[in-house]
Amino acid sequence: MSALPPCPKCNSEFTYEDGSNLVCPECAHEWSAQEGAAAEEGPKVYRDAAGNVLQDGDTVTVIKDLKLKGSGGTVKMGTKVKNIRLVDSDHDIDCKIDGFGAMSLKSEFVKKV
């Protein structure tokens, strides 16, 4: 077999080279070989929409209206979210929003205050 690293998203061992990139046939994730090596070196860094590094306990602001699945409500732009918790899943942030309760947000839709 080849000595290519597994996919960083789904951990599939069936990765292959496509030019200077590595590709996963199972989840279609593409990454550069240098990017994969850098990801293995340290813990994941979470960044907001402006590129600021996020940490547990930070306060963030929602930068666009977000429709909620299931309840039919909308989290409005400018909503302040206090005391976030960073998690390693499809949504990066677990939090409680006043009037909505516990929910998960993607870090690309928030800005650090």
Per-residue model confidence as pLDDT tens digits over 49-91: 999 999 999 999 999 999 988 877 899 999 999 999 999 988 9
Rama region for 89: left / alpha / beta (φ>0; ψ in -120 to 50; rest): beta
> 94, 87 in Cβ contact below 8 A?
yes
The model scores a pTM over 0.75: no
Residue 45 lies in a domain: no
Q: Which residues pair with 111 in a beta bridge?
A: 61
Residue-number span of the structural domain to which 25 is assigned:
1-39
CATH number assigned to the domain comprising residue 107: 2.30.30.40
Distances (CA, A) of 20 to 33, 35, 36, 41, 62: 7, 11, 12, 20, 36
Per-residue model confidence as pLDDT tens digits over 9-23: 888 888 999 888 899
Residue 48 lies in a domain: no
What is the total count of domains within the chain? Answer: 2
